[in-house]
Structure 1
Amino acid sequence: MADQRRFDSLEQTAALTAQRLDDTSSTLLNRMATHTHVEPNAVLTTNFYDLHRSSRAQGDTANRWEQFADGYMKWGPGNADPDVFLYRETANVLAVDPGDSLRVRGALVHEQPFARYYCGVAGGQNIVANGAPQNIPFTVALETHSEVIKNGNTTFTLGRAGVWQVSGGYRLSSGAAANHQLMIYNGSSSTVRYAESQQNPGSGNNVTVTRRFGVGAVVALGLAIAGSTNSTIATDVPESTHISLMWLRP
């Protein structure tokens, strides 16, 4: 009889163990339905907001650091909710939340697209006095950047969205007539002007605009002369007729 009871007990234990194994297998299968481990410390999930990893020190009542499946990270003091957040805001932009600060101890290398050209046309460029803007050609590069694309010699395509500062100036060697209008515009339509400055009369002028441009925006420095006297760009001081394009921030 004792052997029979012992056998019954072992049989019950085996059945209970089998049931626990079934429950464990079911739980693992449910987890695998939404999480697929592809390498150590990496996880694929159907929910971007799943908490992936976290850490806290002994005695803490809250996590000091958290990382979510989409890369979003939070930091806190360990005894309260996180208060600093770091994340990918958009393409090529890493951001912290408004109100957070990022302190850099040491040098911060900031790549800032900048390009500058001047008009190097031999003998000067003739500007016809017909009232319509004509693009000033820029043949000599003082500084170039891959995100400032020169189209021929007269227009420039901006390869990065954000706030740009575009500046330009000119000087004439002849034909200092009235109503010289210098403008930064899209290079093809005088109705799309980003900035302009009028000299009446005069032999030179400068203009600057700081504004937001989309990627692929085209800009040019145009000069319009009213009246009947043509003008010629001076080349004795080449850099006096120039254009510079500098990206400032997203």
Structure 2
Amino acid sequence: MPDPSTTRLGLYKSKSDGSELVNYPLDLGQNWDRVDLAAGFQPCTSSTRPSTPYSGKPIFETDTGRSFYSNGTAPASASWVEIPNSSGVFGGNLSLAASSSLSIGAAVLTRTSGGSLNSNTNFLATRTAASDIAYSAIVGVDTFDRLRLYADGKYEVGPGNAARDVNLYRSGANTLATDDSFTVGIDLTVTGRLTVNGIGQSLPKYKAATTNRTSTTSLVADPDITFPVVANATYLVDGLILFAADPAGDFKMGWTAPSGAAFQWSCFGQASTATAGSGSIITDGQDLTSTSFGLGGVTDNNKTMTAQVRGYLTVAGTAGNFVLQWAQVASSANATKLLAGTHVRLTRVA
């Protein structure tokens, strides 16, 4: 009876006592065939893996390009452990020790002591379309991702149990926008201009240069005090009128607004019927039909006079311009002036 075959390749061994003659096909040919088959990774297919592999047996699947070795456990079909290689798609789970790193060239991905992933370089997601997702995150068993970052830079956030409901995105050159409400918990510092288009919008107008008008009683729009107003909005109006007028010409003013608008206002100033030194103060209410509201100058047109204007403008369904108009009460060759520094402000309240 021959000696037991080798444990790994099952090579045939004749009797060690020399009583058995050498049989070439059995003792040499068959054994060398098995040695040749076992050299390196044994080629096979995913359906023809060796049925009785030894522990450590390496194989390469020609139909999938994947590599395996047997860990020696039973059954043999469950003993195969995949080895990553560059020829096929890795089909298993790859586990690294907690202190291990994954290096791809100079880029290194490491697990920190706190359990998070750390990289020595940036993360770049190359996507096909701007609307493709570049990054998202969920918490526990969320049914929706709470955070989503798109390839175009748009940022969305939600509660996790419903769709994301707030966003932040680039709406144009040098402009960051959101379609939702924005709350600042501590301080908000604006270095440039603050623009509000809805309730709370402030629209200031200021005369940087004096405008002169002579020999005219026809109201004409001031070149500086014109406001664009939107439909179905309400504005508070306040301002300071600075003018100079010879008592022979004096100063009158009025306002125009879009069709359907209403404007209740008053102007606290000296009446045009005043004497050269002083006169009565006008306090009665006015509206858009008040197109000849007169204010008086004193002495000559070099004396600065002031009047404080306040009002309540309601715009109906038609947008347009809200305009200060003015002229002389009586035609005079001595100019009536609306002075630099005159300013009016609209504040939207509804």
TM-score (norm 1): 0.50
Relative to its length, the structure with more strand (as a share) is: 1
Greater CA radius of gyration, 1 or 2? 2
Relative to its length, the structure with more helix (as a share) is: 1
